[in-house]
Amino acid sequence: MAGTVRPGDITSLESGAGANSGSMVRRILLGSQLRRLREACGVSREDAGYAIRASESKISRMELGRVSVKQRDVADLLTLYGVTGEAERAPLLGLAKSSMQAGWWHSYNDVLPGWFQTYVGLEAATERISTYEVQFVHGLLQTEAYAHAVIVSGHRGRPPRAEIDRRIALRLERQKLLFSEYAPRLHCILDEGALRRPYGGRAVMAEQLKALAEFSEFSRITLQIAPFAHGGHVAESGAFTLLRFAEDELSDLVYLEQLTGALYLDKRDDVSAYQGVMDGLAGAALSPEATRDLLQEIRTSL
């Protein structure tokens, strides 16, 4: 049958970076496979919803990976789509089961906004992260003391110490991604202003600048500074992050963080436009070697 998934299509995903990706990416993968099967046999979303006692809008959310899917519902949908062989059904049913498992970040629900949970889940499954930061050092590269200063400065009034500690722990837990077996490639471009802005005072900034220099030596990390001396550049719209995945079923994404939420852009033209900006920034920014020199210069001047 057209669109039928071979057993290896799913199991191969579980053996790579997806093995640590958590429920978010598994839901997206499952949803894309279900959509492909539904369209291949000409079933409408309305009819698919009727088969599992759900609405057309829920089928849409399932296919986009925005909601979890019960194994029973997946089994009923596969039957509706004509997927009856055990060898064809088992991988998708297994994916449905694993997609119900909460990622490590769910234990931080008390300090993690729902819209950012999505990002953390996707970040954990990326093959490549390309990011431009203006205000401060990217979260994956922050020291504990610097993270503390950023978190405190971002609140009106001082938040409770327990909340601060939880937020710092979350940030440091995210950072473990860079040391994992499936570490993504990280290309981070920092505006020079992010390094000149004294979060936490002299000692904290000196430690953070030293940590950045050390991170820049990692084989899977490319760190560049967009210097003041260059003047204006192509990223006048501000900070952004590009996420790229190894799985063909997952589109590249642009993540734009806002004050009370975030935007996720996956249209090809949008992603291409931001990739063009990232390429332009990389060409205008200092080389990794010159970046390390400037980090040392700023640190010396503190």
Question: What tens-digit pLDDT sequence spans the chain (302 residues)?
Answer: 333 333 333 333 333 333 444 577 788 888 888 998 999 999 999 999 999 999 999 999 898 887 888 999 999 999 999 999 999 999 899 888 877 777 788 889 899 887 888 888 889 889 999 999 999 999 999 999 999 999 998 777 778 999 999 999 999 999 999 999 889 999 999 999 999 999 999 999 999 999 999 999 999 999 999 999 877 777 778 899 999 988 777 789 999 998 888 898 988 999 999 999 999 999 999 999 999 999 999 999 99
Domain endpoint, select from 85, 101, 117: 101
Q: What span, in angstroms and rounded, lies between the C-alpha atoms of 65 and 69?
A: 9
Whether 76 and 51 have beta carbons less than 8 Å apart is answered as yes
Whether 110 and 171 have beta carbons less than 8 Å apart is answered as no
Q: What pLDDT, in 10s, does the model give residues 128-139?
A: 999 999 999 999
For residue 86, give both structure tokens: 């055990």
Whether 253 and 271 have beta carbons less than 8 Å apart is answered as yes
Domain endpoint, select from 101, 116, 139: 101
Residues 199 and 277 in one domain: yes
Q: What span, in angstroms and rounded, lies between the C-alpha atoms of 48 and 54?
A: 8
pLDDT of 22: 55
Residues 75 and 123 in one domain: no
pTM of the model: 0.78
Q: Which amino acid is at 186?
A: L
Residues 163 and 110 in one domain: yes
CA distances from 16 to 25, 178, 273 (A): 13, 16, 29
pLDDT of 162: 94
pLDDT of 105: 84
Place of tokens 């000409």: 42
Give the domain CATH number at 203: 3.30.870
Residues 29 and 124 in one domain: no
CB count, 10 Å around CB of 202? 10
Domain endpoint, select from 66, 101, 136: 101
Q: What span, in angstroms and rounded, lies between the C-alpha atoms of 200 and 153?
A: 9
Q: Is residue 199, in this structure, part of any structural domain at all?
A: yes
Q: What are phi and psi of 254, to 5 degrees?
A: -110, 130
Q: What span, in angstroms and rounded, lies between the C-alpha atoms of 131 and 242?
A: 6
Integer-rounded Cα Rg, in Å, for the chain is: 22
Handedness of CA 139, 144, 150, 155 (dihedral sign): positive
Residues 72 and 147 in one domain: no
Whether 116 and 186 have beta carbons less than 8 Å apart is answered as no
Q: Is residue 2, in this structure, part of any structural domain at all?
A: no
Q: Count the domains in the chain.
A: 2
Domain of 96, in residue numbers: 7-101
pLDDT of 230: 78
